[in-house]
Amino acid sequence: MRKSLIISLLIGIIFIPGIRAQTSSLIVKTSVTEEVKNQFKNSGRIFLFVTSSRGREPRFNSWPNKSNKIFATNLENWDTNESFIFNSSVDLVKSIDISLNEMPNGKYRIQVLWDQDTKESRINAPGNLYSEVISVDLSENKILELPLTKIVDQTKLADHKFLKEVDFKSHMLSEWWDKEMRVKAAVLLPGGFFDNPDKKYPVRYNIAGYGGRYTRANRYVERDTTFLNWWFSDEAPQIINVFLDGEGPFGDSYQLDSENNGPFGTALTQELIPHIEKKYRGLGTPESRFVDGCSTGGWVSLALQLFYPDFFNGCFSYSPDPVDFEHCQLINIYNDKNAYYNEHGYLRPIVRDVYGEPVVSQKDFIQFENVLGSSNTYLNSGGQFSAFTALFSPKGENGLPKPMFDPFTGEIDREVAELWRKYDLKNYIKNNWEKLGPKLKGKIWIWTGDMDSYYLNPAVRTFDKMIKNLDNPKSDASINFSPMKGHCAEYDNKKVILQIANKKIPLCLDAK
């Protein structure tokens, strides 16, 4: 009896959850090689990526999960004759709460990146330096050498007769920032464009998911043969497709004016769009402009339609970012005290699967952004909450936006939260319906999954309830919910264009 009890206890101890796995110490030495020395700048932020996942290079694995670990620090005046050494004695910002001398044993892929670029907001920007990827079985202490040998290339638009690049100097943004600011876009011309040199066309403006670049248009002419065959068929609408660029000073610009980004919305509507429509024979009328997108693009397309109701003739919004800040994912920014913990003291999830199982917490998500930001906070990480804060918040200290919640504790700043109301789309419509209502007739289509991966559907639900109860006039917004569907599950590029074509193009041609 006693013997079997002891055995049972030992077995129980072996399988008690939370007992720490065996660990090893990791040291990584990084130098600047001759191949990249002429491109090297001596101040920046150095990153060490350690991942147990396969697939893309570790430098692209900034997504918060247990497989990915990031360590980073800022360096000033790095002497190229000396190596930088990642070890447990260096003051590193970490994406997870372990140090390099307590790495869990296992197989990893490891890479170093030197972020020296000051033009773009994210770390894999052109001109930054990075190392090869090495694989290691970390079952004992390791000392590795990972020199910087490569340079991140410039992104390029595909060479295709019907695909054109727009690289436009914005005088408004340049004046606001007191330096040259350029905005970019890709233009996919309709199949009949060159056969009809006098014809003018309606234009569809597409906004990408978070941080999507204008070069995403490449896949439609290089890889998506089904789309391309359809695009040049008689079935496809004769409409110009414009792919807007998501790059902004703090991450995605969200294509709107803000205290931190500057006049991106004004530059879009008064400079970029008129330039595109003049150069590529757009009709140039409000009736001929349509905007669509998913996720960030879903929110931006809806916001552009609301803030510029006379400029666009319809938005097609899929799985939009929070359209109601009482449901800012799972945070009520006006009432809650903390962004990381709910009123019951539990960590708030920010990502789930379609069956409701939490995948990532809000706290862990922000900690990954804290590592990416040179301020050691999410405020200039180039990530999702960096962009949210730059758009919604007033200016803060040291050229950074003022945080709505503390980057480390999650405590919500009530004063800043109130200032976010300006961009609360449910709040904006409710308070301006008398003026907006007549202008939005026949212009709003929204789709979302009822198991959205980022808990975005509750905000759309309350938005839907609010807008259906408005009078003078009654809203005809089409808001659709798909049971057991996740984030952007219903989005189809062809479907969006067909929606525009079937419902609106004949009307805009009549308006001409």
The 10s digit of each residue's pLDDT in 233-245 is 998 889 999 999 9
Is the dihedral angle over the CA atoms 7, 9, 10, 14 positive or is it negative?
Answer: positive
Q: What is the DSSP letter of 272?
A: I
Separation of alpha carbons 238 and 202, rounded Å: 8
pLDDT at 482: 96
pLDDT at 496: 74
Helix (H/G/I), strand (E/B), else coil: 204: strand
- Which range, of 11-15, 17-21, 37-41, 414-418, averages the lowest pLDDT? 11-15
Taking the CA atoms of the chain, what radius of gyration do you get in angstroms?
A: 25
239 CB-near residues (< 8 Å, 6+ apart): 190, 201, 202, 203, 204, 497, 500, 501, 505
Asked if the model's pLDDT at residue 19 lies above 70, the reply is: no
pLDDT at 10: 36
Residue-wise pLDDT tens digits, 293-303? 999 999 999 99
Contact, 161 vs 140, CB < 8 A? no
Pairing of strands 444-449, 478-482: parallel
420 CB-near residues (< 8 Å, 6+ apart): 325, 333, 392, 393, 404
Of 185 and 55, the one with more pLDDT = 185
Reduced DSSP (H G I as helix, E B as strand, rest coil) percent helix, strand, coil of the chain, to 5: 30, 25, 45
CA atoms within 13 A on the CB side of 251: 23
Helix (H/G/I), strand (E/B), else coil: 420: helix
Which domains does the chain possess?
Answer: 21-151 (2.60.40), 163-324+424-511 (3.40.50.1820), 326-422 (no CATH)
Phi and psi (nearest 5°) for 252?
-65, 135
The most confident of 230-239, 359-368, 490-499, by mean pLDDT: 359-368
Q: How confident is the model at residue 102 (pLDDT cuts 50, 70, 90)?
A: confident
Residue-wise pLDDT tens digits, 262-277? 999 999 999 999 999 9
Task: Output the CA angle 274-279-281, nearest 5 degrees.
Answer: 90
Pairing of strands 26-30, 142-145: parallel
pLDDT at 184: 97
Joined together, the tokens standing for residue 79 give 């002497």
Quote the longest CA-to-CA distance of the chain: 95
Asked if the model's pLDDT at residue 2 lies above 70, the reply is: no
Q: How confident is the model at residue 55 (pLDDT cuts 50, 70, 90)?
A: confident
Residue among 505, 456, 512, 153 at smallest CA distance from 317: 456
pLDDT at 255: 98
- Which range, of 62-76, 117-131, 419-433, averages the lowest pLDDT? 62-76
User: How long a stretch of residues is the chain?
Assistant: 512
